[in-house]
Amino acid sequence: MKRWFLLAFLFLLPASCPAAEDLFEIKPVADGVYSAIAKPTHRVNSNAAIIFLGDSVMVVDANSTPSAARGLIEQIKKLTPRPVKYVVNTHFHWDHTQGNEAYTNAWPAGVEIISSEATRANMERLGIPRWKRELAAMPQEVEQLKSDLQRATSADQKDSIRKTLAEAEAYFAELKNIQITMPTMTVDSRLILHRDSRTVEILWLGRAHTDGDLFVFLPKEKVLATGDALHGWTPTMRDSYPYDWIQTLDTAEKLDFEYVIGGHGEVMHGKQKFELWKQYFRDLLESTTAAYVEGATMEEAKKHVSEFLTAKYADKFDHFSQNVAGDVAKAYQVINPSR
């Protein structure tokens, strides 16, 4: 009977559901502190930080889907028998929060999901409506991939599209059943967990990628988890506050850390990336302001400012060409709020 149930359960899983080790690469950062670096997928997935707290575990960011979070949970259980007691949502974006339910399901005796008050409010005000819009848009995306597959001519093209299509279909199937799981504890500006093994500071330092970004700081280990307030790719700015972001990075940079676990990309060392991001924001805002003053429309600014920024920064950021025009559009909207 047990064997039949297991086989039935396996048939219910999405066909393209990857093995846990295919989702994340676990890398030690300090004693009892690990980064879970998300591997490439059709739908972007976030990194996570894993922090041992003696009798329990804290995870920073809950990934893009419950299945991704379950994959990470499987890897955490190989590292320690201790339960996850705390999950920190650094901000409200779906790729950092849609896995929340996996943790409360895995440890029903109690998992505290921690966010800023702004992040919790944003999940209700923006996150849930965006999830509903994506549900409505996904069938068209799947049909487009099927059409692309029919038109593909080379074997490599077909294989690539088949893989993407399988991942998109699996994601859509999961998206329909996600239970939006809200934070259970919110932080105003600072929450400190004192444990025998380490101290963890959960900090709101100002508006940045969103108005609710949290940083998780381990002062003894000199590790800082930054979510998407700073990471290894190009900044994305849809819900951001660019001028505040520079000041928030200034504040974070004053902390005494050596290792940075960002929301995407590899673990970073030192503070060079902070300086790079701040200079990028300054150049973005100054060049977009100049274009606006000269009478450029948003589309004209996107073209000319993107060309300037690409020449200066394309070799310094991953995924730059996909994001720079959107960054210019955001800067233009900040400079000209009526747009």
pLDDT tens-digit series, residues 245-257: 999 999 999 999 9
pLDDT at residue 6 in the model: 33
**pLDDT surpassing 50 at residue 10:** no
Looking at the fold, whether 259 and 291 belong to one and the same domain comes out as: no
**Structural domain count, the chain:** 2
Quick check: is 293 in a domain?
A: yes
Query: What pLDDT digit, counting tens, does each position of 12-60 carry?
Result: 334 344 566 689 999 999 999 999 999 988 789 999 999 999 999 999 9
Looking at the fold, whether 243 and 284 belong to one and the same domain comes out as: no
Domain range enclosing 16: 11-120+181-270
The domain boundary residue, chosen from 214, 247, 270: 270
Distance of alpha carbon 305 from alpha carbon 170, whole angstroms: 38
The domain boundary residue, chosen from 270, 300, 318: 270
pTM tops 0.95: no
| Residue recorded with tokens 């990336």 | 273
pLDDT band at 3 (very low <50, low <70, confident <90, very high): very low
Give how far the C-alpha of residue 147 lies from the chain's centroid of Cα atoms, to the nearest Å.
Answer: 30
Please choose, from the candidates 82, 98, 109, the residue with its C-alpha nearest in 3D space to the C-alpha of residue 48. Answer: 98
Looking at the fold, whether 16 and 76 belong to one and the same domain comes out as: yes
The domain boundary residue, chosen from 270, 288, 312: 270
Give one DSSP letter per residue of 20-39, joined into a string: GGGTEEEEEEETTEEEEEEP
Quick check: is 131 in a domain?
A: no
Looking at the fold, whether 266 and 282 belong to one and the same domain comes out as: no
Mean pLDDT of the 76-85 span:
97
pLDDT at residue 1 in the model: 37
Please choose, from the candidates 4, 109, 114, 22, the residue with its C-alpha nearest in 3D space to the C-alpha of residue 61. Answer: 114
Distance of alpha carbon 38 from alpha carbon 59, whole angstroms: 14
DSSP character at residue 179 = -
Helices (H), the chain: 2-12, 66-79, 94-97, 100-106, 117-122, 128-151, 155-175, 242-253, 272-293, 298-313, 320-335
CA-based R_g, the chain, Å: 21
Looking at the fold, whether 15 and 86 belong to one and the same domain comes out as: yes
Query: What pLDDT digit, counting tens, does each position of 187-221 carry?
Result: 999 999 999 889 999 999 999 999 999 999 999 99
